[in-house]
Structure 1
Amino acid sequence: MNNRKSLYSLNCMDWHLLPPATESMIADVALAAQGRFTGDPSHEYEHTETRIKGEGDDATEEEVTVKVNEASRLATTVSNIDKDASVVPRGAFTKSPCGKVQTNRSFGGLDPVEAAKPRNYLHFREPVNLKKKSILEMSHLNPAIDFLDPLSEDVPKGSWTLQLERGGTVCVLRSLLWLGLIFFHVPQTPQHGYIYMGDGLMNLDLPFML
C-alpha cells in the first residue's frame, strides 16, 4: 500500500517514472493547474496572485507566481484517483498482527449474493473512517480483513454504481466522482481489478447529481 510507483508513456512503448506526489506538489497543482491536460509532460501551468506579507503597518503586498509542469499534475491526479477510487474486494488482502498487508492466497472470491453489496468492497489505501469508529462499532469486524474503509461509507452517498453484468457473472463498480473509473470482480474467483479511462478531472458536480 506504500511506496507505489507510477509510470507514464506517450506511445505505450517508452515508459517514464512519475515523481511521487508530495504535499507541496499537491498544493501547487490545486492552485495553478486548471482545465484539461495538454498531453505534454513539460508543459507549465502558471498562476500569479497577490499576497500580504507581514502584519499591521509593516504589511506589504507582493506578487507570487506558482509554476507546475504537467508531469507533476499527472502524478497528483494519479495519487488522488488511487486515494479515492482504488478498490479491492473484502478478503482479497489480509493484515497480520504486526501490521504487514499481503495478498490473501486463500481468497476465492465473493459469494454472488455478497458481491452485490457495496460494503464488501474496500478502498485500497490507508483507512480514514475506520480510525474514527468506536470500540463498539468495531466489535463485529475481523481485524485481519476489515482494516480498510468500505465503499458504503463514502460521502456523498451514492458516489458508486454497482451492477451485475453477463447474467450476474461479473460485478462492475463505476465511480461517479472520477468518471471513467471501472472496477470489476468475478464472483467465486480471485479475479478483480480496475482501470481508469477519463479526462483526469474530478466530477465536482457530483453532489448536485445525487
Structure 2
Amino acid sequence: MNGSNLHVDTFGSKGIGLSTEERACLATSLVGLTSSQAFSSADFWGKIATADVSKDYYVAVAYHGDPFAPTIFMCQDALNWVQAPNVTDDEMHAAADLRAAFMGDPAFEFPLPNGAAGTLPEAKRLTAVVQCILRDAHIVPRGAYFRDSLGKLQRNATFAGLRPHDVTRLASYVHLRPAATSDAQLARPDFEDAVDVLDTVEHDQPKGCWVVEKSVMNVVLSSLIWPGYHHATSVADASFASIYVGQGKKNLDAGFMI
C-alpha cells in the first residue's frame, strides 16, 4: 500500500484482508527487495486473482525516487519477487480488453482479443494490467506531492492531510501520473503553482466512475473502471493508501452502469 502508514485493515469494509502469514512474508520480503536493489521504497501494491486461488499473484511496486517510474515485481508466495517484463502500448490495450481469467501460470499464452493475431503471455498481461491501473486509477490527495524548483515531482514532507470539508470532494484528489496538459488545474480558485501540477480526479470520465464513502476514520474512493482498486485517506492526519485486489479486468461497461 504505497505511500502510507495506513494498515491493510483500512480496506476491510471492501472485503480485503491478508492472513497473518501473508503479512509476515510481505513485511520481510519487501524490506529485502528494497535493500537488494537500493530502491528508495518497495511497497505492496495488491493481488490479482487467478483461476487457482493457490496461485494468485502478489504485486509490488518499487521506486528509485521518480514517482512516475515504478518498477513492478510479481510473485505467488509473497516472498520471492521477480521483476515483471516490460510491455508495449499495444500490449496494454490488449490486456485491458481481455476477459479470460488469469490462470496462475506466468507462461500461459492468451489469444489476443478482438480477433487480432498473436498471443500475450500471462506475465506480460499482469504487467500491462498493473500499468493500466496505475495510469487510470492511482490517485493521491492534493498536496501530497509538489513540483520542486528543478521541476521534479517530490513527496511533500509538510503535507498535513486534507481539510475536513475537502476530504470527500473529488477535486481534492489527483492522479499520480504525468498531467495530460501543462495547465491541468489553472482554473482552480485555490490554485497553487507548485501543487496543482497533476490531473484532478473530478474530471475523470465517465462522470461518476468514482464511489466515495466516508467512515469515522477514513474516506475511501473506489474505482468503477477498475473494480478492486481502492484509495483511502485519513480524516485525522496525513495518512493515505491505495490497494488493488481483483481479477485484473477493466470494467468495459462502466459508462452504461452510471
Task: Provide the C-alpha distance between the structure 2 equivalents of 1:30 and 1:110, rounded to a whole number of angstroms.
Answer: 33
In structure 2, relative to structure 1, the CA distance for the partners of 1:86 and 1:44 (3 Å cut) is same
Query: Which of these residues, 118, 132, 146, is aligned with residue 170 of structure 2?
Result: 118
Match of 2:222 in 1: 174
Contact 1:26 1:76 in 2 (8 A): yes
Identical aligned pairs, as a percentage?
30
Contact 2:139 2:231 in 1 (8 A): yes
In structure 2, relative to structure 1, the CA distance for the partners of 1:159 and 1:17 (3 Å cut) is same
Consecutive unaligned residues of structure 2, counting only runs of 5 or more, are: 1-66
In structure 2, relative to structure 1, the CA distance for the partners of 1:115 and 1:102 (3 Å cut) is same
In structure 2, relative to structure 1, the CA distance for the partners of 1:193 and 1:46 (3 Å cut) is same
Amino acid at match of 2:102: F
SS of the residue aligned with 2:232?
strand
Match of 2:124 in 1: 72
Query: Which of these residues, 235, 239, 249, is aligned with residue 201 of structure 1?
Result: 249
What root-mean-square deviation, in Å, do the aligned CA atoms of Structure 1 and Structure 2 show?
Answer: 2.4
Match of 2:101 in 1: 36
Task: Provide the C-alpha distance between the structure 1 equivalents of 2:138 and 2:145, rounded to a whole number of angstroms.
Answer: 13
Say yes or no: does 1:3 pair with 2:69: yes
* TM-score, normalisation: structure 1: 0.82
Contact 1:42 1:70 in 2 (8 A): yes
Contact 1:86 1:194 in 2 (8 A): yes
Larger Rg: 1
Displacement of 1:28 after TM fit? 5.3
Contact 1:177 1:206 in 2 (8 A): yes
* TM-score, normalisation: structure 2: 0.68
Task: Provide the C-alpha distance between the structure 2 equivalents of 1:208 and 1:159, rounded to a whole number of angstroms.
Answer: 11
SS of the residue aligned with 2:118?
strand
User: What does 1:175-194 correspond to in 2, within 5 Å?
Assistant: 175-194=223-242
Consecutive unaligned residues of structure 1, counting only runs of 5 or more, are: 51-63
Query: Which of these residues, 116, 124, 134, is aligned with residue 82 of structure 1?
Result: 134
Say yes or no: does 1:97 pair with 2:145: no
Task: Provide the C-alpha distance between the structure 2 equivalents of 1:106 and 1:191, rounded to a whole number of angstroms.
Answer: 12
Provide the aligned length of Structure 1 versus Structure 2: 192
Moved more, 75-84 or 90-99: 90-99
SS of the residue aligned with 1:74?
helix
In structure 2, relative to structure 1, the CA distance for the partners of 1:49 and 1:200 (3 Å cut) is closer
Deviations 1:91-118 (A, max 9, x none): 0011023211111010010111110111
In structure 2, relative to structure 1, the CA distance for the partners of 1:97 and 1:172 (3 Å cut) is same
Match of 1:53 in 2: none
